[in-house]
């Protein structure tokens, strides 16, 4: 087992029995479920929209290099600069180079999972740069010194009382502050930062190949402020976020908003096609897009599993997953948690270290059922398990266990020979401390069903 696997099992057990955590998550996801149920009901034919999105992403991923080159050509034509980053280290190095070029010391950042993926905040702070999250949920977890709990709602694991207590300790606000008062306080603290920041950093929900644009979807307006006031804008975007045309947004934006928050569309939707032009009133003087690989081409090379790159980061599979709702987002120890994270993380960060995530599933199929782009998530989990075995990454104990299990399942006489007594012995010996730790082991019948059937029907042909 890897250290990540051991840690995952330990933390998952603790979190699964944390009743207060379960109460908060059930409450927050319950509100999400109600909103999404209303949202998807507004689609005339949701299933057809999901199929169209799947086909569009299939076509894009199968021709990824073509669309990325098209995006670069159209973006640079308007004065933007594209940086290709093979991995997290290269991306951080390139971003730091931009800060040094402009002698920048402060940064405001809107919500971005790719920047979490490359641990950009910690890196910049290590080099003496103030890195400030401006999304309210991200700002809250940054104050706590935590990672985002969820890819859409970073502070989902916190109640309004938790946040009121945090603001009271950090800023002296009343301990009984309402959500509206807390939001107003955050606005007061952050508003001046936009005006004074040297550089604004965002991610990108979509990249448009035909116009050379990045698309930002948000509800708070902080992304617009982060891209409008600072003189330099850096967007760090995974290469899989490309879609062919601006005309595809009428499909993807409603699917993302509806499955992410239950809205028809989020409040603010921006299309940014480079730095400020001569005729424009606002915007950055310089704009960079960092196209991040960081293991994505490893997943692209997997013909059967590359559909994991279709993901539009709506979070629907997390909210539907019974495992995620019990063990929480932080337990995964990855940027992308839940079912989609369990698919892509072994390919992005290493099968040896993260193969265990593909087993953290009941395979109930709920994740596939709710995915707006029709990814067969539960099938991808099984394929990851297959690959882990084929790459000889399973432990010796696990391999021998399945070897004898297969022998027994293929030869009935072998199972009958062991008898109920020996079966009970092996069950108690090898399963009591794992599978049987929190459940009573079943009593084994003295004879197998096969033996009992034969005895019962031995005179049928007489």
> How many angstroms separate the CA atoms of 307 and 305, rounded?
5
Q: How far apart are the first and last CA of the chain?
A: 56
Read off the pLDDT of residues 152-185 as tens digits, 9 standing for 90 and up. Answer: 999 999 999 999 999 999 999 999 999 999 999 9
3-state helix, strand, coil in the chain (%, to 5): 55, 10, 30
The answer on pLDDT for 278 being more than 90 is: no
Q: Give CA–CA dist 128/231, Å, rounded.
A: 19
- For helices 179-196 and 160-171, the axis angle rounded to 10 degrees is 50
Q: How many residues does the chain have?
A: 462
Summarize pLDDT for 424-440 with one digit per residue, the tens: 777 777 777 777 677 77
pLDDT in tens, 204-253: 999 999 999 999 999 999 999 999 999 999 999 999 999 999 999 999 99
Strands 81-85, 206-208: pairing kind: unpaired
Tokens in use for 426? 């092996």
Please report the pLDDT score of residue 123 as a whole number. Answer: 97
Residue 74 placed within a domain: yes
Residue 26 lies in a domain: no
Mean pLDDT value across the chain:
92
- Does residue 205 form part of some domain? yes
Predicted confidence (pLDDT) at residue 118 exceeds the cutoff of 70? yes
The pTM for the full model equals 0.91
pLDDT of residue 462: 52
Name which residue leads in pLDDT, 29 or 429: 29
401 and 290 share one domain: no
> For residue 131, is pLDDT > 90?
yes
Q: Are residues 185 and 48 in the same domain?
A: yes
d(CA 110, CA 186): 14
Give residue 267's domain range.
43-294
- If you write DSSP's letter for every residue of 424-450 in order, what string do you get? HHHHHHHHTTTTTTTSPPPPPPSS-HH
Mean pLDDT on 372-384: 96
Q: What is the pLDDT of residue 461?
A: 64
Residue 53 host element (H or E): helix 46-62
CATH of the domain at 67: 3.40.50.10420
CA angle 87, 288, 333 (to 5 degrees): 35
- pLDDT on residue 2: 73
Please give the pLDDT value at position 420.
65
The pairing of strands 130-133 and 199-202 is unpaired
- Is the CB of residue 154 less than 8 Å from the CB of residue 133? no
Share of the chain above pLDDT 90, in %: 81
Q: Do residues 261 and 152 lie in contact, with contact meaning Cβ atoms separated by under 8 Å?
A: yes
Q: Is 306 helix (H, G, I), strand (E, B) or coil?
A: helix
Residue 44 has pLDDT above 70, yes or no: yes
The pLDDT of residue 185 is 95
20 is a domain residue: no
Residue with tokens 């108690």: 428
pLDDT score, position 284 = 94
Domain boundary (250, 278, 294) is at 294
Report pLDDT for 345.
Answer: 96
- Confidence band for 419, pLDDT divided at 50, 70 and 90: low
The helix-helix angle for 136-144 and 179-196 (nearest 10°) equals: 90
Tell me which residue of 271, 102, 259 sits closest to 202, measured CA to CA: 271
| Residue 285, pLDDT score | 95
Which of 239, 273, 294 delimits the end of a domain? Answer: 294
Domain boundary among 236, 260, 294: 294
Domain assignment present for residue 68? The answer is yes
Domain count of the chain? 2
Instruction: Give mean pLDDT, residues 72-78.
Output: 97
Q: Which pLDDT value is given to residue 1?
A: 59
Task: Tokens 């949920």: give the residue.
Answer: 137
């Amino acid at each position: 087992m890897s250290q990540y696997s051991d840690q995952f099992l330990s933390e998952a057990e603790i979190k699964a029995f944390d009743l207060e955590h379960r109460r908060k998550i059930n409450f927050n996801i319950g509100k999400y479920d109600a909103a999404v149920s209303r949202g998807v009901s507004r689609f005339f034919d949701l299933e057809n929209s999901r199929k169209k999105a799947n086909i569009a992403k299939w076509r894009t991923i199968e021709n990824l290099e073509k669309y990325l080159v098209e995006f670069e050509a159209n973006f640079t034509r308007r004065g933007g600069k594209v940086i290709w980053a093979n991995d997290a280290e290269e991306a951080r190095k390139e971003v730091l180079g931009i800060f040094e070029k402009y002698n920048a010391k402060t940064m405001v950042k809107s919500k971005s999972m790719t920047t979490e993926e490359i641990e950009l905040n910690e890196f910049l702070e290590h080099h003496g740069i103030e890195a400030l999250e401006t999304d309210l949920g991200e700002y809250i977890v940054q104050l706590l010194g935590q990672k985002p709990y969820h890819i859409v709602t970073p502070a989902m694991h916190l109640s309004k009382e938790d946040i009121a207590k945090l603001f009271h300790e950090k800023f002296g606000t009343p301990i009984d502050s309402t959500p509206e008062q807390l939001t107003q306080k955050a606005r007061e603290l952050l508003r001046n930062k936009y005006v004074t920041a040297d550089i604004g950093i965002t991610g990108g929900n979509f990249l448009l190949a035909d116009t050379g644009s990045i698309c930002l979807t948000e509800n708070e307006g902080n992304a617009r402020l982060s891209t409008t006031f600072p003189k330099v804008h850096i967007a760090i975007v995974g290469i899989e976020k490309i879609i062919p045309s601006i005309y595809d947004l009428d499909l993807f934006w409603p699917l993302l908003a509806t499955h992410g928050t239950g809205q028809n569309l989020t409040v603010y939707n921006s299309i940014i096609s480079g730095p400020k032009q001569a005729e424009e009133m606002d915007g950055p003087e310089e704009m960079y897009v960092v196209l991040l690989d960081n293991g994505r081409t490893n997943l692209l090379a997997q013909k059967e599993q590359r559909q994991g790159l279709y993901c539009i980061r709506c979070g629907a599979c997390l909210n539907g997953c019974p495992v995620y709702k019990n063990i929480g987002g932080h337990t995964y120890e990855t940027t992308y948690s839940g079912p989609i994270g369990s698919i892509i993380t072994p390919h992005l960060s290493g099968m040896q270290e993260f193969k265990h995530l593909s087993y953290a599933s009941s395979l109930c199929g709920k994740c596939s059922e709710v995915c707006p782009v029709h990814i067969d998530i539960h099938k991808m989990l099984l394929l990851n398990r297959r690959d882990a075995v084929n790459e000889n990454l399973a432990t010796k104990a696990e391999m021998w266990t399945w070897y004898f299990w297969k022998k027994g399942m293929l030869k009935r006489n072998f199972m009958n020979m062991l008898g109920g007594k020996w079966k009970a012995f092996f069950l108690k010996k090898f399963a009591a401390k794992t599978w049987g730790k929190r459940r009573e082991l079943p009593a084994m019948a003295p004879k197998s069903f096969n033996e009992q059937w034969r005895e019962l029907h031995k005179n049928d042909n007489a």
